[in-house]
Structure 1
Amino acid sequence: MKRREVLAVLAASAMTEVAGCEAQESPARYVKDIALPKPNVTGSVSFEEAITRRRSVRTFGAAQLPIETIGQLLWAGQGITSQDGKRAAPSAGALYALELYAVTPTEVIHYLPHGHRAETRATPDLRPELRELALGQASVGGAPLVIAVAADPSRLAPRYGARANRYTDLEVGHAAQNMLLQAAVLGLVAVPVGSFDAARAARTLALPPGQTPGYLIPVGFPA
């Protein structure tokens, strides 16, 4: 093959790779907006008992979680709990850098705190790919629900500058612990997973630019 032809092939290949990356990194479009069932704010399990129950469990039953249970978990992580818009988990300056995504075998659910709503989009089962990028951890592929706690430090940066990343990491931890305790109250089992390729996870979930998952939390009924 002549040099000019080789260069043309290489250029075409590069253009194809760029186009593929752009398509993969484009944020997803959610096609359905739903109102979630009203969260329960008067549970029968004490805070102390919830702490006692919480354990990291990596095996799950096969049953899917009902939407009211998913909504309750998401509310515990980022639900609005006051008249002035404050949320269940603390945030530096009440700027709220987090977004919560719940992955089921058939869809991705993006939580919308205002109005306790969600937007959803149908997908192929993303759990096997999430398991692969989480170093093959079986819990990520085997749980009926995987919650991705995504963060966008740029929401904090105008006020906190270089501290924004640190504060965002703290916020991820606050929300994750809330949801883990809520799972314990609901009789569910869960495990926080921090060992995964965050950039690949963002692409798999088709997150908007700037959002990166800090935790994956597989959740389900006990095996």
Structure 2
Amino acid sequence: MTELERIAYEPTPLLPPAPASGESHEFIALPRPRLDAGAPLMTALAHRKSTRVYADVPMTLDTLGALLWAANGVNRPDTGGHTAPSAHGFHEIDIYVALPQGVYRYDPALHHLVLRHLADARNMTGYQDFVGKAPLDLVYVLRGSQVLGTPPQQRELFAAIAAGAICQNVSLYCASEGFATVVRGWINQRLLADALRLNEDEVPLLAQTVGRPALN
């Protein structure tokens, strides 16, 4: 059997969150996405890949609005349905957005960002050296209180499926719009939970870096 090639990483020490930079607001209203934008689905699938080198270009509000709506926004207002599936409609995964100006939580119902921590916690979202330099790191957080009525094994399975669907939505959006992204499972859950100011029943599961690809 051929041994699978593993990507070698040099772990970067986790430093405390840096001071926030730029304008920070308690709430950030996000623009609605243009539903006619981007490449067709099959083209996006053909271009989907993981990238770990990013240009130093900040995220615009238009991009953030479209990206987060694609990730897990409300696409059926009449029923409250989301772009990502969720078993029994639990919607137990929250998206935390680590930006230079602070840590925010995405509110799909209102399509806006809510400030959770006035710090730049990007470098806390993983051990790879690029995570603190890319313009945006997303963290997918399980809100345990949403799934208390289900057996523990189902909670883990349902949460993993939901987080995976959100990751793929983000990856396809990035491929469609020419952005770079990579999904990351190498995180320190305890330190990251502190950096995001999570409650005891909230657990970070995955992180995903997004940005413009670096020019060669």
- State how 1:112-123 maps to structure 2 within 5 Å: 112-120=107-115, 123=118
Cross-structure match for 2:84: 89
- State how 1:130-209 maps to structure 2 within 5 Å: 130=125, 134-135=126-127, 137-160=128-151, 162-209=153-200
Are 1:211 and 2:202 counterparts? Answer: yes
Structure with more strand by fraction = 2
- The one-character-per-residue Cα deviations of 1:153-207 (angstroms, maximum 9, x if unpaired) are 3312314554111111111101111011111112110000101111211111111
Cross-structure match for 1:39: 33
Q: Distance in 2 between matches of 1:120 and 1:157?
A: 26
2:96–2:103 CA contact under 8 A, matched in 1? yes
1:152–1:168 CA contact under 8 A, matched in 2? no
RMSD: 1.8
**Runs of at least 5 residues in structure 1 that lack an aligned partner in the other structure:** 1-29
**Runs of at least 5 residues in structure 2 that lack an aligned partner in the other structure:** 1-23
The sequence identity of aligned pairs, in percent, is 28
Q: Distance in 1 between matches of 2:80 and 2:61?
A: 23
- The one-character-per-residue Cα deviations of 1:26-58 (angstroms, maximum 9, x if unpaired) are xxxx96223210112222411111111111000
- Rg larger in structure: 1
- TM-score, normalised by the number of residues in structure 1: 0.79
Q: Distance in 2 between matches of 1:121 and 1:160?
A: 30
